[in-house]
Structure 1
Amino acid sequence: MKQLNKLKDKTKNNTKADRTDQVDHYEQLYHEFRWDVPSNFNIAEACCHRWAANHKHAKKAAILYEDSEGNSRRLTYQQLHEQANQLANLFLQEGIQRGDVVACILPQRPETAIAIMACLQIGAIVMPLSFLFGPDALEYRLQHSQSIAIILDDSGIKAFEEIRDRCPDLKTVISLDCTASNDMPPCIDWETHVPNMPVTSHIADTRSSDPAVLIYTSGTTGAPKGALIPHSAIIGNLTGFVASQNWFPQDEDVFWSPADWAWTGGLMDALLPTLYFGKPIVGYQGRFSADTAYYLLEKYKITNTFLFPTALKMMMKAEAQPREKYKLSLRAIMTAGEAVGDAVFNWCEQALHIIPNEMFGQTEMNYIVGNSHQLWPAKPGSMGRPYPGHKVAIIDDDGNEVENGDIGEVAMSRYDAYGHLDPVFFLGYWKNDEATRNKFTGDWCRTGDLATRDDDGYLWYQGRADDMFKAAGYRIGPSEIENCLVKHAAVANVAVVPKPDKERGNLVKAYVVLSQGYQGDDALVKELQNHVRGKLAPYEYPKEIEFIDALPMTTTGKVQRRILRLREQERATQNSDSVSVAPTPSH
C-alpha cells in the first residue's frame, strides 16, 4: 500500500533491539495513515498473479518447502500462478462456481497455497480446515458450510472417510498423495488431472467486499461459528503485519511460522501477507520442536517470524544462547496467543537481540492492536496500541468508552478515526444473523476480551468477558468439547474450563458429572480423553478430568463456568507463585 511504503523509511535509524533513548513515532504514524481500498480487488491477483506477470519477479521463490523426512521443493511465483490456473480450470470443469464453498484440508505445503489461489481467483470461497480435526469437527463444518468440493491429502483422509456419507452437498473430492478406501466414492487424483489442465485462466472481477475465506471459530455457547472474510481483509491486516514485523518487507526478507495455514494466525498473519509483498515463505510439514525451529531459521536464512509464546519458551529452554550455536538472520518476531512474560521477553531481547512485538486480534477482525518496538516503545506485558487505520476503544456494556485505568471490553469501530470504513472486518457469521448482530453494539464490534488502557494509549489484558480461553496458542471454546463428552454414556453433565499452566498458558480441564452406575476412576478418565481425541482436534481433548457431584448452576439452569475457572485459578495460586493465569488471546 502507498501509505505503508511512505512510512518504511522511518525505521532506518531505529533497527537495534534497544529500548533506551527510543523515539516514539506512534502518534505521527497513526494520524497520517488513511485507507486506500480499491472497489475491485482479488487476493489471488494481489498475492500471486501480479508477481508472475512481472518477468523480473516471476522466477523468485514464493514457497520454500521441506518436510520432516528432509524432502524439499521450491515453488516460484510463476509456478504458483500456472498451477493455480490449472487447478482453477479443473474447478470450473467440475462445475464449481463463484460463491461456492471449497474446503481444503492440507498442511503447510505448496499445494495449500495453490488451492487457496485457485479458489479465490474464480470467486469461490475457500474454507481452510486443520488436518488435526477429527470426524465430528470436520462433519459439522462441511455440513454447515454446504461445501460442494474438498481437497485433502493423507493427513486428512482418515477423518474424512468416516463422515463422507453424511456430507451430501459434497460433489467433488480431490485427493493428493493419498488413496481412499474402497468404501468411499472415487476421488479426483490431483497428480493425474491438474497437470493436464490449461496453464492460463482468468481472474474473477471480484469486489473488495466479496467473500473470500470462511473460517470457523470456537464459541462459548452453541456450535462453532463460520466467520466470512472478504477480499479486503488482507488489506486491513497489512498495517499490523508490516509494523509487527519491523517494517516488512525488506530486500532479503524470508518468512516462516509454524502456525497452521488453516488458521487465521497462519493464513492472515503469515502466508497471505508474505505473498502479498512478493516474498518467500517457508512451509514445513512436520511437528514443531525447538531443534527444528533453529534448523529452519538457519538453513533458510529466515528474517521474520510469528511464534506463539509456547514455542518461544521451548526454544529458550533448548538453547539459552542460540546465536552462539546457530547463524541466524532473524530480525523480527511477532507473537500472540498468550502472555509472553518477562522471562521470554528478556530472553528474546538479550539472546536473540530482538524485542518481540506482541499482537492482538480475532478471526473476525484481525491484527488490530499490537507493538512495533522500532517505532514506538514496547511495554512488556502490554497488548500494545491500535495499529494505524483501526479505531479501538475500551467500552462498557452500553457501548460507552470507559476512563483510562477502568476495565472494559476491547472493541473496534466499523470506521477509522476519519470516518472511513475499516477493511479488516469480517462480513458476518455464515447462516447466523443473530450471532452477527450480537457481535456489535452500534458501530462497535465487541471482542469479548477485557482490558484497561493506560494514559499512553497502551492496552493491558484483563481476561475474557465470556468462557473462551487459550491453550498452547489454540483458541478453545468449551461448547464443542462439552457436546462431545456428553455423547459418552458415562457423562451426565460437563463443564470445560481452563486450568492455568506455566508452559501452555492453560490446559483444557473438564468437570464431569457421572451418569448413574459409573465410577470415576483412572480407566474412565483415559476412556473419556480418547473419546474426545478421536472426534475433535488433539489440542481439544481434556488434559485433566475431575469428577464432581453437581455443576454450579444459575437459577435458570445455566452452568456457571466462572465459578469453576476461579477455583482453578485459586488452586494454581496456592500451588505456585509464578503461574500465569491470564494469557493474552488472539485469533
Structure 2
Amino acid sequence: MSINADTANIGDYETTYRDFKLEVPEFYNFGYDTVDKWGEDPNHRAMLWVDEDGSERTLSYAYFRDRSNQVVNALHSLGMRKGDRVMIVMPRVPEWWESLLGMIKSGIIALPGTTQLTPKDITYRLQSSRARAIITDVENAPKFEESLPDCPGIDFRIIVGGQREGWLNFADLVDKAAITVSPEVKVQTSSSDPMLLYFTSGTTGYPKMVLHTHSSYPIGHYGTGTFWLDLKPNDLHWNLSDTGWAKAAWSSFFGPLICGAGMFVHNTKGKYSAKLTMDLLSKYAVTSFCAPPTAYRMLVADDISGFDTRHLRSCVGAGEPLNPEVIEIWKNITGHTIRDGYGQTETCLLVGNFPGMEVKVGSMGKPAPGYVVDVLDDDGNPALPNKEGDIGVRIKPNRPVGLFQEYWNNPEATNASIRGDWYLTGDRAYRDEDGYLWFVGRADDVILSAGYRIGPFEVESALVEHPAVMESAVVAKPEPTRGEIVKAFVILKPGIEGTPELVTEIQDFVKHLTAPYKYPREIEFVKELPKTISGKIRRIELRDQEKAKYQSEHQ
C-alpha cells in the first residue's frame, strides 16, 4: 500500500485533499502486511485492557501477531478454509481482536454481531450468510443454541471464557496451535477478496449484508485513522463502541491498528456511567477519545469539571448529528473541540472535521481525502449552496477505495443505491458556501437512537407477533439525550383496550423477540394509520407529526 501525500498531518486540508491518493496493491492482507509489521518491535503496545473488576492486561502488537497466527492454525486444523464464513459475537475481550485478525489472515469472512442480538436475529444472520462456524462467549452461547436447529450448516461452535457441552473451548484450541504459519497453511488474499460481512438495517425487509473486501476497510480506513482520528504510534485511543458494530471496525480495529496506536478497552456490561468514563479517561491518561453523541450528552450533563484531562488531545464523535451546545460545553470543560465525522457501515469516513481545519460547530465538516462527496439535487447534479439534497459519493470514473463492494446476494439493493455516477448514502444534507456539509436527516425511515441504527420494519414485525396487536407503524421521535427514540403507533385487535399495563407488556415482548435496544420506548394506541392509495403506511406523516410536537414543546 502506498500513499501519495504527506499523511503525517492534515494541517493543510486543501493541499492534502488535492494530493492524497491510495494505490491498492493486487494482493494485500491487513494482518500480515500491517499489524505484523508493527509487531516487529516486541514492546510496541497495542492494547491496554481493563476488565469490569479493574484487572488489567497490556498486550503488544507482537502478542496479537502470534496469537492471530495461532487462530489461523487452529481454524485450519478444523478444516476451515478461505471463503468460509464465521459469525463472531463477543464483548470487549482480547479474544475478539485475536479471532478477527486470525480470520483475516486465513481469508475467512467474518460476520461481527452485537451481544444484544436475540436468537431470532442470530438465526436470520446465520441462514442468510450460510455461516459455517460460530465464535462466541459463555453468556451468548445459549442464544446460538436456540438458533442451531434451524441452521444445520454450522459445523463448529467455539466458546470463549468457559466450557460448554458440544462446544470447542477457544483457549484449548488456540493455545496448542503453533505461533508461526507454515507456507502450506498461509493463504494469499487478493485486495478484492471478500473479508467482512456487516448487517445493516433498512426501512424495508430485514437487515442487508454489507460486503467489504481486503482493501475497502483495511486500506480505506487509513484516512479514518490518520486524518480524522489523528492517531500516532504513542497514542492511547478509546472508542466506546460495542464490538458488534461497524464503528468498532472504524475506531477500535482498523483505524488505530493502521496507525500503530495503542487501544484502551474497557470491558463492561453495565449501564453507561459518565463518572466512570471520566475516571478511566483520567486514570489511564487516554489521549484520543471517540464516542457517540449520546455519551457526550450524558457527560456534559454531569459534573465532570474536576477530572484531569491533561493527556487528552483529540476528541471525535460520530453515529448521529452532534448538538452544537454539547460541543461548546465539552470544549469549555476539557479545552477540546469534538470533531464530528460522517460515514456508514458501507463506507469509511466520508466527511469530517479534521485537525488544523476550522470547525464550524454543528457541521459534519468537509469531504475526507480520497472521496468526492457532494449534495445532489433531484436530477442527480450537485445542488446549489444551502440547498438541501441527497448525499452522494462519486464512484465514476474512479471508485473510492473505502466503499463497500456490494449488498451481498442482493443486487436489487446494490443497484438501488446508485444514481448515475454517484453512490447515494440515503441521507440528506446541504453544502454551504465554504464547502462544509450540514446534516439534515435521513432520506428513509431508519431511526438513529443513541448511535444505534434501527429499521422500523424489524420492530413492526416483532410488534405484530403480540396477540393484542393488529397493525403497527414505527417512527423516530426526537429526544434530547438519545437524539431519537423508537415510537410505535399501534392498532389493537377488536375488543382489546389500550392500557399502561398493556404498553409495558408489549415493550417487554419486543425486548425478548428482538435486540433490546430496538424496543419502542413510547407506544401510542390509535384507531387508524395514515396510508397511501396503494396501502403503504406513510411513516413520514407520523414522523413529521412527532417532530412538530417536539419543536412546539421545546420552543
Instruction: Give the structure-2-normalised TM-score.
Output: 0.95
AA at the equivalent of 1:6: D
CA distance in 1, matches of 2:195, 2:342: 22
Aligned counterparts, 1:64-83, within 5 A? 64-83=48-67
CA contact (8 A) 1:241 1:367 kept: no
Please tell me whether residue 300 in structure 1 is matched to residue 280 in structure 2: no
Residue 136 of structure 2: SS of its match in structure 1? strand
Deviates more, 1:140-149 or 1:195-204: 195-204
Aligned counterparts, 1:174-573, within 5 A? 174-180=158-164, 186-201=166-181, 203-233=186-216, 234-245=218-229, 247-249=230-232, 251-286=233-268, 287=270, 288-321=272-305, 324-372=306-354, 374-415=355-396, 419-573=397-551
Q: Deviations over 1:46-90 (max 9, x none)?
A: 4422222x2xx2332212111211122222222211121112112
Residue 458 of structure 2: SS of its match in structure 1? helix
CA distance in 2, matches of 1:383, 1:6: 24
1:327 shift after superposition: 4.8
CA distance in 2, matches of 1:445, 1:355: 31
AA at the equivalent of 1:208: S
CA contact (8 A) 1:244 1:333 kept: no
Task: Name 2:105's counterpart in structure 1.
Answer: 121
Residue 259 of structure 1: SS of its match in structure 2? coil
Residue 349 of structure 2: SS of its match in structure 1? coil
CA distance in 2, matches of 1:179, 1:278: 34
Task: Name 2:553's counterpart in structure 1.
Answer: 575
Deviates more, 1:361-370 or 1:70-79: 70-79
CA distance in 2, matches of 1:320, 1:364: 35
CA contact (8 A) 1:240 1:388 kept: no
AA at the equivalent of 2:227: A
Task: Name 2:150's counterpart in structure 1.
Answer: 166
Residue 107 of structure 1: SS of its match in structure 2? coil
Q: Deviations over 1:334-374 (max 9, x none)?
A: 101222222211122221111111001111112101111x3
CA distance in 2, matches of 1:370, 1:318: 27
CA contact (8 A) 1:440 1:446 kept: yes
1:3 shift after superposition: 4.1
CA distance in 1, matches of 2:394, 2:9: 29
Residue 368 of structure 1: SS of its match in structure 2? strand
CA distance in 1, matches of 2:280, 2:347: 30
CA distance in 1, matches of 2:252, 2:284: 16
Aligned to 2:118, which of 134, 154, 173?
A: 134
Residue 536 of structure 2: SS of its match in structure 1? coil
AA at the equivalent of 2:275: D
Task: Name 1:32's counterpart in structure 2.
Answer: 19
CA contact (8 A) 1:240 1:369 kept: no
Count of equivalent residues:
549
- Pairwise CA RMSD: 1.7
Deviates more, 1:553-562 or 1:72-81: 72-81
CA distance in 1, matches of 2:542, 2:50: 44
AA at the equivalent of 1:291: K
1:309 shift after superposition: 1.2
AA at the equivalent of 2:197: L
CA distance in 2, matches of 1:446, 1:479: 21
Percent identity, aligned pairs only, is 34
CA distance in 1, matches of 2:539, 2:162: 42
CA distance in 1, matches of 2:263, 2:4: 20
CA contact (8 A) 1:4 1:239 kept: no
Q: Deviations over 1:377-398 (max 9, x none)?
A: 1101111110111011111334
CA contact (8 A) 2:275 2:304 kept: no
Residues 295, 47 of structure 1: alpha-carbon distance in 2 compared, 3 angstrom cutoff:
farther
Residue 462 of structure 1: SS of its match in structure 2? strand
CA distance in 1, matches of 2:550, 2:328: 24
Larger RCO (CA under 8 A, 6+ residues apart): 1
1:39 shift after superposition: 1.7
Task: Name 1:584's counterpart in structure 2.
Answer: none
Residue 382 of structure 1: SS of its match in structure 2? coil
Residue 571 of structure 1: SS of its match in structure 2? helix
Q: Give ranges in structure 2 of 5+ residues lacking alignment.
A: none
CA distance in 2, matches of 1:95, 1:564: 52
1:302 shift after superposition: 1.1
Task: Name 2:71's counterpart in structure 1.
Answer: 87
Q: Deviations over 1:543-569 (max 9, x none)?
A: 111111111111111110001001111
Task: Name 1:150's counterpart in structure 2.
Answer: 134
CA contact (8 A) 1:270 1:306 kept: no
CA contact (8 A) 2:447 2:486 kept: no
Q: Give ranges in structure 1 of 5+ residues lacking alignment.
A: 12-24, 578-587
Instruction: Give the structure-1-normalised TM-score.
Output: 0.90
CA distance in 2, matches of 1:9, 1:441: 34
1:262 shift after superposition: 1.7
